[in-house]
Amino acid sequence: MPLPKQTYTTLIKQHAKRLGFEYCGISKADFLEEEAPRLEKWLNNNMHGEMKYMENYFDKRLDPRLLVDGAKSVVSLLLNYYPEKEQNPDAPKISKYAYGSDYHFVIKEKCKTLIDVLKEEIGDVNGRCFVDSAPVMDKAWAQKSGLGWVGKNSNLINKNSGSFFFIAELIIDVELEYDGPIKDYCGTCTRCIDACPTNAIVEPYVVDGSKCISYFTIELKENIPTDYKNKFDNWAFGCDVCQDVCPWNRFSKAHTEPLFNNNSDLLDWDAKQWQEITQEVFSKVFKNSAVKRTGFKGLKRNIDFLK
């Protein structure tokens, strides 16, 4: 007769797949010993720029047991967002992950459903879902559970499907069967480092967040430093350059999540339409989008910076 942890592990992976997650891997909830000195060094070198929230909850970032009482397992989930169609090449660019509905809401709904199913089938499960919403090192956990390796561009790369994935975690108080990490397949490739328009990948596996186009166009609330003029490669919200050039993304396939489809004519907009965008149009087109994070004024600032 199978042990409960085998049964529960199979159950979780089956339901994750049913909910649309392409990959599901599981790790033991424990202290992230290898990541601790790396995170400390990254923060001490001020590579988080104005993202001061990265300094908070240092201990919780490294130990999921401080986030969920009695935590035994971290369930890592990957949801593909690679689009079937991309933007008009002449237009200011936004990251592919922002084409459709805000992923936070889409994934949280799926995770909530997953937890509800576990409570029905396992019983009294104590757990929480995390999608960029708390101090959880999602890429480290996904790597530990064998869903890919963290590449030289600091993104999680899956050998079969590339890196255009959202990562979510369930931290639960149920003991499960644990997956192990896989090897790093970056090899001698340096395409992401060579292609970064602002030289934000300062060395293999180290990204200076304060030099990243995503940081400037989303996180930075002040004016963008003039030193970076003409270095944005026409990106107005986020940046996909280090993923677009990654050889492993030749295996990317279009997602199957309807909420990630763009339901407006946004992808067909030309440069003029972007430059003339009004508050009213912004509010309508980006009502359920991650682009709302930068706000109308922020997006206008970014577009003007590209001129």
* Res 60 pLDDT > 70: yes
Mean pLDDT of the chain: 94
pLDDT score of 1: 46
Whole-model pTM: value is 0.94
pLDDT score of 95: 98
Active-site residues: which are they? 132
pLDDT score of 21: 98
Strands in 23-28's sheet, in edge-to-edge order, are 23-28, 73-80, 165-172, 127-130
pLDDT tens, position by position, 263-292: 889 999 999 999 999 999 999 999 999 999
Give the DSSP H/E element, type plus range, for residue 73. Answer: strand 73-80
**Percent with pLDDT over 90 in the chain:** 85
* Contact between 8 and 160 (Cβ < 8 Å): no
pLDDT tens, position by position, 204-256: 999 999 999 999 999 999 999 999 999 999 999 999 999 999 999 999 999 99
- List C-alpha distances in Å: 23 to 80, 112, 124, 194, 213: 9, 17, 25, 30, 28
pLDDT tens, position by position, 77-118: 999 999 999 999 999 999 999 999 999 999 999 999 999 999
